[in-house]
Structure 1
Amino acid sequence: MSRDDNKEDASAAAIRRRAERMQQSRNERKYSPLSGLGVFGVIGWSVAIPTVAGAFLGMWLNRVAPQSFSWPIALILGGVVVGAMVAWNWIEKNQDQ
């Protein structure tokens, strides 16, 4: 066996070990603090958007179809409920991952 054959065997073994380490690192779940911030962002926006939309829709309805109750307050509460349901659904769906 020549010296070049030993180099090729060592090189192939090193490449195989590196590929195995890369595959192992891909299979392991790693959580970072930034992913937690991303979750807070998604949950926050999923509650904030329906709430703000309800407020604007309520202000418009107050001008178009006035009632004895306040449309903005009713639709803000409705937006919070809808947003909480969307956030809950998102958490349930992504909890298994």
Structure 2
Amino acid sequence: MAKDQNRKNDSPLGKVVGDREQRKLRAQRDKRSVWSGFGLFGLVGWSIAVPTLLGAALGVWLDKHYKEDFSWTLSLLVAGLILGCLIAWNWVRKEDREIHKNNEDANE
């Protein structure tokens, strides 16, 4: 009931945007399929692979230009891997929260 009262006070643009958002969320909730699961795997994979490869490439460049006792390539490869895992974990956690929120909204 409180949602309906808040909607009456919204501007016309806010109502249109809110209605579109609700339709979009319903469509997302209803369209869970195998392909969306594969898309999730791909997105998580790329979010790990890109920072790892960028770290390795920067490390190779630094190894060529700035000689040190340690390997820039290995150090930045590990740093890129850790960064990529943190990005992927954060994204998956955000998606999980959104899915649970949508399920709770649908059950109300």
Write out per-residue CA displacement over residues 41-64 of structure 1, whole angstroms, 9 at most, x where no aligned residue.
000000000000011100000011
Which TM-score applies when normalising by structure 1?
A: 0.69
Q: 1:26 to 1:42 in 2, by over 3 A?
A: closer
- Which portions of structure 1, spanning 4 or more consecutive aligned residues, are displaced by more than 2 angstroms? 25-30
1:72 maps to: 73
**Who wins on radius of gyration, i.e. which is larger?**
1
What amino acid maps onto 2:81 in structure 1?
Answer: V
| 5+ long unaligned stretches in structure 1 | 1-22
Measured in 2, the distance between the counterparts of 1:80 and 1:27 equals 30
Q: Which residue of 1 aligns with 2:102?
A: none
Deviation at 1:94, TM superposition (A): 0.8
Between the two proteins, what is the percent identity of the paired residues? 41
Deviations 1:53-78 (A, max 9, x none): 01110000001111101111111100
Q: Which has the higher helix share?
A: 2
Instruction: Give the count of matched residue pairs.
Output: 74
The answer for unaligned runs of 5 or more in structure 2 is: 1-22, 100-108
Residue identity matched to 2:57: F
